[in-house]
A and B are shown apart, each in its own frame.
Chain A
């Protein structure tokens, strides 16, 4: 805190001077990581596979271009097109690589003299050239093979790690077993009943997540107490205000509950997704039947555990005929509803977050650009956004999703249409977000520090990033969290109508759709529980947005949801 105030020290040096609190925190964090190392590793494997898939798709683009050009213009033109397409892709990659990996300018290192604009171009050309060489090495020489081997070795290593037991694994606290005639349980954790074992596992998951949160908070406090240069920042006040904002805290808790549910979906569901949702006839389990221990596939067992109203019902917190425990009952084809909802939370959150982040990025970029340059840019954006807003949004979303799905567009196949939905919602939703932050952005752009930045030659991009973006980020956070709820409802509504995410991928809206006719019967839970979850989640996000707004801008506390447009930038 104040002890190092006069010194010029980087964070690393400050930690080196006083390593004890940092090391203590790090040790705790490592223990927490170790407890869930396996799950972490399997997450990394998943991300890696997705990346590999995406890269493969992009890498095949030049080939596709070559094919289509060659078929109409001849082979030489095809080759040229292949080269051009590859070059364009590498050029785009070069921008990313330069931005992410090369903090210094190659041009300056090489001592090339040119004006700034030319320098940027030369820089890009050099990086692209390096990438071309690298790509050629990988494709044409044994280097590619070596690389491939290294990657696969690494993957195997991570996969081995992912097989390590974790504290929240299904194997450790198993809820799958059968009841012997004497009432005792076989196969479950410590012989507990499946209901108790499941509850215990869920409790462990949430406890673990909460410990992590507490530890992260402790880390922040350690940083504040020992390593931060400033003894006070405006953020401290914001955090204090948020801690006393009960409605916001409620929202935060709800959102965290759902995030944990989505992240640990395999652990909190009573059955695995594969066995329950995707391939019920290929997974078997043991139960104690008339002839002792018997084996049956999930699919066959599901036939007897359907909930279709009347006597055919497995309600909430009950066992079916095969001693499987269903905390939220089963759905119409006998699958466990809680598993469906846990994995559905994943789908909803992924689509919702993806769409919202895309929307927020587009809206923020446009708000900064239109506020900085004003004039024609602003006008064009107004016309574009008004055109989009003037169309009824849900109809547009419906139309686009049906169009893409009927045409079997490749995008519609990724994540069973989830990516497509996210893109559609982002494409139709950014005008609303942009309009919400346009006012604050224009307000900030009139501040004298923008002029000051211009007067010492700060670039427009950096001015927007450093001097304008922080002032609209708060508003963006609020409006984004509000529109996230809208996207989740929208996706659920689409699935409810039978479009949207297709079976067997679980989606909350589809559960409501399937169960709606059974609401007056004994199987009311199929539609009601997912409906309540949607309401709760959306309320949670709205409450969180409210809380963040009030925390960031104390003046807005008294006013209602329109505060964003009226509040000052600072």
Chain B
């Protein structure tokens, strides 16, 4: 009954669908140290992240948002990686890391969806860093 090609199933791999339907670390943190949200107006994807940071370590992270499977699964996967990570290390996460973790071929039209959560992390993390420096 399935007309799906292997490519379909490869694109929407089980674990991506799983992260989309059962997102990890979904929700908001009370009194986060960093909170940032970005959207992709072209398709209406929204991803926001809240971080609690203690002594340079990401103690807790939550994401919220709505959008396509790629943007939401990518955000969910990223939060799993971020928990317990040093903020400085988090800043070094690159496009290749995120795309690699998704583990699927992303067409040029969907790259923005896949990288939306990384943008949230980068803008959020660097924003906090500059605030810290101001205080010192």
Q: Are A and B a genuine interacting pair, yes or no?
A: no
